[in-house]
Structure 1
């Protein structure tokens, strides 16, 4: 169970870092004030969650982890 939680933590951290970096990159490339990085990252997070909940990972969650690795999967459903 501990490895599933660590995998979940790593997934969340990686996506947050990627969304923040993309938010800053977009504001830099668009030559707009850097405070726009937060709303851009929010839009990216929302889009990622929508896609993950429908096309990737365990259906009905915002996780991109497969059901067998997602700690939110009830025992016996992800194997």
Structure 2
């Protein structure tokens, strides 16, 4: 496993965990059924991707710096 793949995987897992935790926290604070955590997490993921696409590395939804972003250094498969 390459360093870039590990960083990309860690970034995705970290954001997924944060979005899931926020979804659960929001449902708890709003006193709504917990099944709403999934659509809330989905909305958070879409919002994160939109913001990252404009503020992060152009053309990707990654928040990794260009020096370690796999999309910046594509390798042939």
TM over 0.5: yes
**Between 63-72 and 10-19, the greater mean CA deviation after superposition:** 63-72
The normalised TM-score by structure 1 is 0.88
Q: C-alpha deviations, 1:10-62, integer Å up to 9, x for none?
A: 00000000000000000000000000000000010000000000002x11111
Residue equivalent to 1:33: 33
2:19 maps to 19
CA distance in 2 between partners of 1:34 and 1:23 (Å): 8
Aligned residue pairs total: 74
Highest relative contact order (Cα 8 Å, sep 6+), 1 or 2?
2
Name the Cα RMSD after superposition.
1.3
TM-score by length of 2: 0.91
Unaligned stretches of 5+ residues in structure 1 = none
Matches within 5 A, 1:1-79: 2-56=2-56, 58-74=57-73
Question: Which of structure 1's runs of 4+ aligned residues deviate more than 4 A?
Answer: none
